[in-house]
Amino acid sequence: MFQTLIVRLSSMGDIIHNFPALSDLARHRPDIAIDWVVEESFADLPSLHPAVRSIIPTALRRWRKAPLKSKAEFLNFRAHIRSCKYDLILDSQGLIKSAFIAKQAIGPISGYDRQSAREGLASLVYHKQYSVARDQHAIQRNRQLSAHIFNYTIDNKIDYGLKVPQLDLPWLAKSRYAVLLSATSRRDKEWPEAHWIDLAKRLLELNIIAIFPWGSMLEQERSQRLAAAVPYALCPPRLNLAEAAYLLAGSQIVVGVDTGLAHLAAAVAVPVVAIFCASDPLLTGVLASTYAVNLGSNGAPPDLNSVWQATKDGLA
**Short-list 246, 262, 294, CA closest to 17:** 262
| Pair 258, 274: CB distance under 8 Å | yes
Q: Which of 150, 166, 194 is the last residue of a domain?
A: 150
Residues 144 and 18 in one domain: yes
Residues 109 and 196 in one domain: no
pTM of the model: 0.96
Is 164 within a domain?
A: no
CB-neighbour burial class of residue 125 (10 A; exposed 0-12, middle 13-18, buried 19+): middle
Q: Is 286 helix (H, G, I), strand (E, B) or coil?
A: coil
Which CATH number goes with the domain that contains 44?
A: 3.40.50.2000
| Pair 110, 89: CB distance under 8 Å | yes
Q: Which of 108, 132, 150 is the last residue of a domain?
A: 150
pLDDT of residue 217: 95
Average pLDDT over residues 24-49: 97
**Short-list 267, 44, 3, CA closest to 159:** 267
Question: What dihedral do alpha carbons 98, 101, 106, 108 form, nearest 10°?
Answer: 20
Residues 19 and 146 in one domain: yes
Handedness of CA 310, 185, 6, 148 (dihedral sign): positive
**Short-list 211, 221, 218, CA closest to 243:** 211
Residues 234 and 136 in one domain: no
**Burial letters for 44-67: b for 16+ Cβ neighbours within 10 Å, e otherwise?**
bbbbbbebbeebbbbebeeeeeee
Q: What is the DSSP string of 83-124?
A: TSB-SEEEE-S-SHHHHHHHHHSBS-EEEE-TTTSSSGGGGG
Quick: pLDDT tens for 60-111.
999 999 999 999 999 999 999 999 999 999 999 999 999 999 999 999 999 9
Quick: pLDDT tens for 179-225.
999 998 888 999 999 999 999 999 999 999 999 999 999 999 999 99
Domain of residue 83, residue span:
2-150
Q: 299 pLDDT exceeds 90?
A: yes
Is 47 within a domain?
A: yes
Q: How far apart are CA 15 and CA 286, in angstroms?
A: 13
Quick: pLDDT tens for 265-275.
999 999 999 99
Q: How far apart are CA 19 and CA 21, in angstroms?
A: 5
Is 310 within a domain?
A: yes
Question: How many domains does the chain divide into?
Answer: 2
Is 161 within a domain?
A: no
Residues 45 and 183 in one domain: no
Q: How far apart are CA 287 and CA 156, in angstroms?
A: 12
